[in-house]
Amino acid sequence: MTPHASPQIVTLNPASDAAALRALRLTCATDTAGTTSGAEWDALDPLSLHLAARTEDGQWIGSVRVTANRRLDRLGVLPHWRRRGVADQLLAAAVDTA
């Protein structure tokens, strides 16, 4: 991804994208919390809207969940993509859909 290119925000399918989404969340959570707990995936996931930030080459670099009651949570961005506005983009897209 070029330095000035913004990641694309895409909607994920919690069924078909579950494994990749879990791996992304685990990477984000392990870095910040030092844990590998399964708590990053719960019963709300199949019922929620999931948005991900994706680079030009297709790498997922962050995600956020919008629950059925319009709660935003599970926001995470890969460590080397932080402080580049990715979380802001994810949150703005989530608010637009909520």
What CA–CA distances, in Å, run from 86 to 3, 37, 41, 61, 63?
Answer: 13, 24, 21, 8, 9
Identify the pLDDT of residue 49.
94
CB-facing half-sphere around the CA of 53: CA atoms within 13 A: 26
Identify the pLDDT of residue 59.
95
pLDDT tens by residue, the chain, 98 residues: 555 578 999 999 988 998 999 899 888 887 555 665 555 678 888 889 999 999 999 999 999 999 999 999 999 999 999 999 999 999 999 999 87
| H-run or E-run covering 7 | none
Which domains does the chain show, CATH number per domain? 8-97 (3.40.630.30)
Identify the pLDDT of residue 42.
81
